[in-house]
Amino acid sequence: MHTWLRRARAAVGMGFAWAVAGALVGGLFELVDNVLPGVFPFIRRVDMWPQTLAIPGFLGGILFSLVLGIVGRRRRFAELSLPQFAAWGAVAGALLGGYALANGAPAYFIGIATLGSAIAAPGSLALARMAEKRDLLNAREDTITARFVESEAREALEDED
| Counts for the chain of helices (H) and strands (E), in that order | 5, 0
Residue 128 has pLDDT above 90, yes or no: no
Dist CA 57 CA 21 (whole Å)? 7
- Give me the domain span that covers residue 102: 2-160
What's the mean pLDDT when you consider all of the chain? 85
Give the number of domains in the chain. Answer: 1
Query: What pLDDT does 45 receive?
Result: 77
58-108 residue pLDDT tens: 999 999 999 999 998 888 877 888 999 999 999 999 999 999 999 999 999
Dist CA 29 CA 90 (whole Å)? 22
Percent of the chain with pLDDT over 90: 50
pLDDT classification of 13: cutoffs 50, 70, 90? very high
